């Protein structure tokens, strides 16, 4: 029998890689995980966690303002960016330690440095070679910025988390998750914020009512949202950046954040040499069991360039561990994956959008409500919450739930369980609401709306 140093060698200690390694070890496998940066990967270090902390920080401005409607007197206020970033860094360091402890307690060896795949069972690191029965590629993704004159002056989300000062004026380019989230963060913290998107309406792929409602809400707050535009040139004059747009107009900013997608971080990994097939974007091409075309090499998470979401990477990590070391091959179901955008206000969604349901030839009924949350009856804020259900007319099954409003992610998470159980509209209606909440609207919508053609 061939002897390997490890049963599993995971490359990348992000959310997916760590979970796969720990679960594999719990099944008795001898496991090592290689990491060249901090433990926890994108989510912990420069993604979900620090982003959510900054989102919390950015909401206080509105909360202080709203407090006046409830009788509070709030004195002068300002944001100490240095303190905010330092406190955020302290929490991230704590989490790095937690990840290290979790791996150590599970008996997973941590190998520090850059790993390169030499052949289907061998990884080279820091001048040493390690063999493994299976190699799991969990290297994640990296922000991608288009090349154009002056693009070197742009920053990405990686740098945004470590800016030395809060910029007075910010331009955000890109109309996806990261763009809308950072536009909300910078605006909420007091920066004059513009967001530019090349298409007619941002958040392509989301339900149109989410896209339209969020755009309205962001504009109400004073974010300079511009569609059908793009930056063609950036020039730097001392501390000021000048962005020239498609129409020739020039917008000044102190920072220009590009949030124009992320690409698999598979370069310099040696995968091609080991015979692993990659897509044009560099994604590892995997079968439904997350195995590449090389039998001993698996891949999970962002580096497969499918749903770039932490919980998906974690589920994939557990699936691989079960498939390889628990004799339980797992094939994940990617339908009805709930997701939230931590924009201001939040968006949450699960299941099919109205447009996707039509594309799949469903005859659908639409239920939609838009209302002023109770809290704002006292604050004077014009903020609206939107909730929407997409229902299959033939079976009465709820195909999609969509929301823009405070805590949308928290609310949609619960509804995702219902959708995954195949809940019907009648079952939603038979569910008694919790009063007074915004969420109760999801079980009290009775009037069909005139669906878009």
* CA proximity to 64, closest of 436, 435, 439, 379: 379
* Among 260-268, 284-292, 366-374, 445-453, the segment contacting ligand NDP (CB under 6 A): 260-268
Among 130, 177, 362, 428, binds ligand NDP (CB under 6 A): 177
Cis bond leading into 175, ω under 30°?
no
CB nearer to ligand NDP: pick between 234 and 309: 309
Q: Half-sphere exposure (CA, 13 Å, Cβ side) for 194?
A: 20
Tell me the C-alpha distance between 278 and 264, whole Å: 10
Could you give the CA distance from residue 224 to residue 187 in angstroms, rounded to a whole number? 10
Distances (CA, A) of 194 to 129, 131, 399: 49, 50, 35
Residue 5's closest CA among 130, 153, 114, 95? 130
Residue 424 is classified by DSSP as: B
Using CB under 6 A as the binding rule, the residues of this chain from 303 to 342 that contact ligand NDP are 308-309, 339-342
Q: Please report whether residue 204 would count as binding ligand NDP according to CB under 6 A.
A: yes
Among 39, 154, 257, 259, binds ligand NDP (CB under 6 A): 259
Tell me the sheet residues that pair with 27.
Answer: none
Determine which residue in the list 113, 199, 422, 433 makes contact with ligand NDP, applying CB under 6 A: 199
Part of the chain binding ligand NDP (CB under 6 A), chosen from 57-65, 70-78, 173-181, 280-288:
173-181
Does 114 participate in catalysis according to the annotation? no
Site residue total, ligand NDP (CB under 6 A): 25
3-state secondary structure of 38: coil
Contact call for residue 406 and ligand NDP (CB under 6 A) = no
**Residue 195 binding ligand NDP, by CB under 6 A:** no
Q: Smallest gap, in angstroms, from Cβ of residue 350 to ligand NDP?
A: 13
Q: SS3 for 411?
A: helix
Q: In terms of CB distance, is 15 or 21 closer to ligand NDP? A: 15
| First-residue to last-residue Cα distance in the chain | 64
Among 207, 230, 316, 441, binds ligand NDP (CB under 6 A): 230
Residues engaged in binding ligand NDP (CB under 6 A): 146, 173-179, 181, 197-199, 202, 204, 230, 259-262, 308-309, 339-342
Active-site residues: which are they? 435
């Amino acid at each position: 029998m061939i002897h390997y140093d490890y049963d599993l060698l995971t490359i990348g200690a992000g959310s997916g890689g760590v979970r796969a390694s720990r679960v594999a070890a719990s099944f008795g496998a001898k496991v090592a995980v290689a990491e060249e940066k901090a433990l926890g990967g994108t989510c912990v270090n420069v993604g979900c966690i620090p982003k959510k902390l900054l989102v919390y920080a950015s909401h206080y401005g509105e909360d202080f303002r709203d407090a006046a409607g409830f009788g509070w007197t709030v004195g002068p206020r300002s944001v100490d960016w240095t303190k905010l970033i330092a406190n955020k860094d302290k929490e991230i360091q704590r989490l790095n330690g937690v990840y290290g402890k979790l791996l150590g307690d599970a008996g997973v060896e941590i190998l520090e440095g850059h790993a390169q795949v030499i052949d289907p069972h061998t990884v080279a690191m820091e001048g040493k070679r390690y063999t493994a029965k299976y190699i799991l590629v969990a290297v994640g993704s990296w922000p991608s910025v288009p090349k154009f004159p002056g693009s070197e002056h742009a920053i990405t989300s990686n740098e945004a988390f470590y800016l030395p000062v809060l910029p007075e004026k910010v331009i955000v380019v890109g109309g996806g998750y990261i763009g809308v989230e950072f536009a909300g963060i910078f605006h909420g913290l007091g920066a004059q914020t513009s967001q530019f998107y090349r298409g007619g309406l941002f958040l392509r792929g989301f339900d149109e009512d989410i896209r339209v409602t969020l755009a309205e809400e962001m504009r109400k707050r004073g974010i300079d949202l511009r569609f059908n535009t793009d930056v063609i040139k950036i020039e730097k004059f001392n501390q000021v950046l000048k962005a020239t747009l498609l129409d020739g107009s020039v917008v000044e900013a102190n920072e220009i954040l590009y949030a124009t997608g992320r690409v698999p971080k598979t370069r310099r990994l040696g995968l091609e040499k080991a015979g692993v097939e990659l897509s044009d974007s560099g994604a590892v091409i995997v079968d439904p069991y997350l195995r590449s075309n090389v039998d001993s090499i698996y891949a999970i998470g962002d580096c497969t360039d499918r749903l770039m979401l932490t919980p998906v990477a974690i589920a994939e990590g557990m699936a691989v561990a079960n498939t390889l070391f628990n004799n339980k091959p797992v094939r994940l179901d990617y339908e009805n994956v709930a997701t939230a955008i931590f924009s201001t206000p939040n968006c949450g969604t699960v299941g099919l959008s109205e447009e996707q349901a039509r594309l799949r030839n469903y005859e659908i009924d639409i239920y939609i409500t838009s209302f002023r949350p109770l809290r704002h009856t006292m604050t004077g804020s014009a903020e609206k919450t939107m909730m929407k259900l997409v229902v299959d007319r033939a079976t009465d099954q709820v195909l999609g739930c969509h929301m823009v409003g405070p805590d949308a992610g928290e609310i949609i998470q619960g509804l995702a369980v219902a959708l995954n159980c195949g809940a019907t509209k009648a079952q939603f209606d038979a569910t008694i609401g919790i009063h007074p909440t915004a969420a109760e609207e999801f079980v009290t919508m009775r009037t069909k709306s005139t669906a878009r053609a």
